[in-house]
Amino acid sequence: MRSTEAFLATSVLGLTLGVGCASHPAAPFDTLKNSGATMLRLQNYEPPAQQQPGAAAVPGLPNLIPPQIQQWAQQAAPALQQLLPPGLLPPGLLPTTPLPPQQTAQQEFRFHERRVLGTAQIADADLREKLAELLGDEDNFQLEHQPCNYAELGLGWATQANVPPYEILISFSCNNIQAAQGFSWPHATGIGMKPKLVEGLTKIVQQLFPTTTMTPGGVGYAPQNPLALL
């Protein structure tokens, strides 16, 4: 009888500990819920400068878009297709219309050398918690991913004032997420995104970047490290 009770107690304790560990996001994503966080819409690819006068153009694909972006653009959910920079793909290639770039009267803002097209402050604590759960769970990541980094989104969050923020780059076209500043990648499972993670991030994108509400690029995010946003 005692052995049975001991076994049950051990099982319950093990289950409790297991659930507790599984539900706690890995650092530094565990700080996301209680931090000021901003999502940045980025230009994932900037075509090279215009061809020299007299040079032959490529019919139907003037900017030689990377194949990873072409493939992803045609397969991605409509909410993610809207993240493509306007004018990047030939007209008629996609059924959705990309979000327009935001006009800024001042300088052009960049996030880790990528042009910022818009920003969205994540004011909802529940949404920040959902992001932490998605990004902080190693089971949402895999080793397989495209060997490129055409990031469509950036994410930055600061735990306190006067401390450099944590920052990551999210590339749907290359199916990976990379640490950009403030920490080393915590997941041994890899940086490739599993379908569950892509689905979860897609829902968050739909909430943060509706077509009618976008903050001009660079507004609402002022990292302590000036090298991150130039």
pLDDT tens per residue, range 82-97: 777 665 665 555 555 5
User: Is 230 part of any domain?
Assistant: no
User: Is 226 part of any domain?
Assistant: no
How many whole angstroms separate alpha carbon 114 and alpha carbon 125?
A: 27
**DSSP line for 141-184:** EES---S----SEEEEEESSTTSPPEEEEEETTTTEEEEEESS-
User: Is 3 part of any domain?
Assistant: no
User: Is 134 part of any domain?
Assistant: yes
- Domain range for 142: 37-45+64-87+94-221
Tens-place pLDDT, residues 102-125:
544 446 789 999 999 889 999 999
* Radius of gyration from C-alpha coordinates of the chain: 21
Mean pLDDT in the chain? 76
Q: What is the pLDDT of residue 51?
A: 40
The pLDDT > 70 percentage for the chain reads 63
Choice between 183 and 227, residue whose per-residue pLDDT is larger? 183
Q: How far is CA 101 from CA 82, 95, 118, 171, 186, in A?
A: 11, 18, 7, 19, 33
Model confidence band, residue 100 (pLDDT cutoffs 50, 70, 90): low
* Global pTM value: 0.73
How many whole angstroms separate alpha carbon 148 and alpha carbon 74?
A: 18
User: Is 203 part of any domain?
Assistant: yes
**DSSP line for 198-229:** HHHHHHHHHHH--TT--BPTTTT---SSTTTB
Residue range 179-191: average pLDDT? 96
User: Is 5 part of any domain?
Assistant: no
Choice between 199 and 6, residue whose per-residue pLDDT is larger? 199
User: Is 30 part of any domain?
Assistant: no
Q: How many independent structural domains does the chain possess?
A: 1
Residues 6+ apart with CB under 8 A from 178: 149, 151, 168, 169, 171, 185, 191
Q: What is the pLDDT of residue 12?
A: 46
Tens-place pLDDT, residues 58-75:
444 445 678 888 787 777
User: Is 18 part of any domain?
Assistant: no
User: Does the pLDDT value for residue 76 go beyond 90?
Assistant: no
